[in-house]
């Protein structure tokens, strides 16, 4: 088995980077092979731009999706993109490791999605969900947050963590991955600044131990359900009788909050 980590944190000595090293070691001890993309260290450009496409389909006007499709068809996608796709193709498990910044992934990781999941090569209207490029592979988010677990519960002040992570998980499902329940490390960023050092050290050690124990058992981890292509009508809306898995895709326009 092979796992590929994508790290989106600018500090090589960050706790996020430590989790990648620790998780890699735990998998290697179980006989896995490992690869990793440290996006900041690589100097990965997260901005899709005309300069990335030497052989333009339309030199007069830059349409990112059209140029990605054209480059996919003529074999001219940027090397930074094809290298990442090759690593993802090789991996049985993809782990995205990043801190939650302003309730979202860092811009670096969003840009990695924008560029690497290129239209034509990574997905098309027919190549998605159960027909996606990465069908048969698993993906999991590993996210660090500043506040406690309780603040990310359904009634917490930080918001429901499952809802906050849904767009990223949905993106992975869109290109075919079986998406595993995320690993969330709570109390990391804020704890480093405001808590007693001994308390912080104990908390971080516990998180690392949990992560090391989690990764070799990914086959036992819960899978997040998403609707399949057969469950959408021609109008793009969920068909009668199809299951509803999330408030993001539902039958009722208005949610009953209480």
Q: pLDDT, tens digit, for every residue of 129-175? A: 999 999 999 999 999 998 888 889 999 999 999 999 999 999 999 99
Specify if 166 maps to a domain.
yes
Q: How many structural domains is the chain composed of?
A: 1
Q: What is the CATH number of the domain that holds 68?
A: 3.40.50.360
State the residue for tokens 């998998």: 27
Specify if 241 maps to a domain.
no
Which is nearest to 112 in space by CA: 20, 5, 16, 223?
5
Q: What is the pTM of this model?
A: 0.94
Per-residue confidence band for 256, with pLDDT thresholds at 50, 70 and 90: confident
- What's the rounded Cα separation, in Å, for the pair 141 and 144? 10
Domain span holding position 103? 2-227
State the residue for tokens 């290298």: 83
Which pLDDT belongs to residue 200?
A: 78
State the residue for tokens 């406690």: 148
Specify if 89 maps to a domain.
yes
Q: What percent of the chain has pLDDT over 70?
A: 97
Specify if 249 maps to a domain.
no
Residue 41 makes CB contacts below 8 A (sequence gap 6+) with: 12
Q: How many CB atoms lie within 10 A of CB 155?
A: 8
- What's the rounded Cα separation, in Å, for the pair 249 and 95? 25
Tokens of 34: 């490992």
Q: Is the sign of the CA dihedral 24, 135, 246, 168 positive or negative?
A: positive
Contact 172, 139 (CB under 8 A): yes
Per-residue confidence band for 252, with pLDDT thresholds at 50, 70 and 90: confident
Specify if 13 maps to a domain.
yes
Which pLDDT belongs to residue 192?
A: 54
pLDDT higher than threshold 80 for residue 178: yes
pLDDT higher than threshold 70 for residue 119: yes
Which pLDDT belongs to residue 190?
A: 55
How does pLDDT run across 48-92, given as a tens digit for each residue?
999 999 999 999 999 999 999 999 999 999 999 999 999 999 999
Per-residue confidence band for 182, with pLDDT thresholds at 50, 70 and 90: very high
Rounded to the nearest 5 percent, the helix, strand and coil shares of the chain are 40, 15, 40
Specify if 150 maps to a domain.
yes
pLDDT higher than threshold 60 for residue 103: yes
Tokens of 35: 């690869």
Got the DSSP string for 128-165?
A: SGGGSTTTT-EEEEEEE-SS-GGGGSTTSTT--HHHHH
Which pLDDT belongs to residue 226?
A: 96
- What's the rounded Cα separation, in Å, for the pair 85 and 162? 27
Q: What percent of the chain has pLDDT over 90?
A: 86
Specify if 176 maps to a domain.
yes
Per-residue confidence band for 193, with pLDDT thresholds at 50, 70 and 90: low
Specify if 250 maps to a domain.
no
Which pLDDT belongs to residue 255?
A: 87
Which pLDDT belongs to residue 216?
A: 95
> Rounded mean pLDDT of the chain?
94
**Beta partners for 94?**
4, 139
| Cα Rg, the chain, nearest whole Å | 19
Per-residue confidence band for 229, with pLDDT thresholds at 50, 70 and 90: very high
């Amino acid at each position: 088995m092979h796992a590929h980590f994508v790290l989106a944190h600018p500090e090589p000595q960050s706790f996020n980077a430590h989790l990648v090293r620790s998780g890699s070691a735990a998998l290697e001890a179980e006989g896995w092979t490992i690869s990793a993309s440290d996006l900041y260290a690589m100097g990965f450009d997260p901005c899709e731009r005309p300069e990335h496409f030497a052989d333009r389909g339309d030199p007069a006007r830059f349409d990112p999706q059209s140029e990605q499709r054209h480059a996919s068809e003529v074999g001219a996608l940027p090397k930074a993109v094809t290298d990442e796709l090759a690593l993802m193709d090789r991996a049985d498990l993809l782990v995205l490791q990043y801190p939650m910044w302003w309730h979202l992934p860092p811009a670096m990781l969003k840009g990695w999605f924008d560029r690497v999941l290129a239209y034509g090569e990574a997905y098309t209207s027919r190549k998605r969900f159960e027909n996606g490029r990465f069908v048969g592979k698993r993906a999991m988010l590993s996210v660090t947050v500043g506040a406690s677990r309780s603040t990310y519960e359904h009634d917490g002040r930080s918001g429901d963590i499952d809802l906050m992570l849904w767009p990223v998980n949905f993106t992975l499902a869109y290109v075919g991955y079986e998406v595993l329940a995320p690993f969330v490390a709570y109390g990391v960023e804020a704890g480093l600044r405001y808590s007693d050092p001994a308390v912080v050290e104990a908390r971080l050690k516990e998180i690392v131990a949990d992560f090391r124990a989690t990764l070799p058992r990914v086959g036992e981890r819960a899978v997040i359900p998403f609707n399949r292509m057969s469950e959408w009508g021609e109008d793009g809306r969920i068909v009668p009788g199809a299951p509803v898995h999330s408030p993001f895709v539902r039958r009722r326009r208005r949610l009953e909050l209480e």
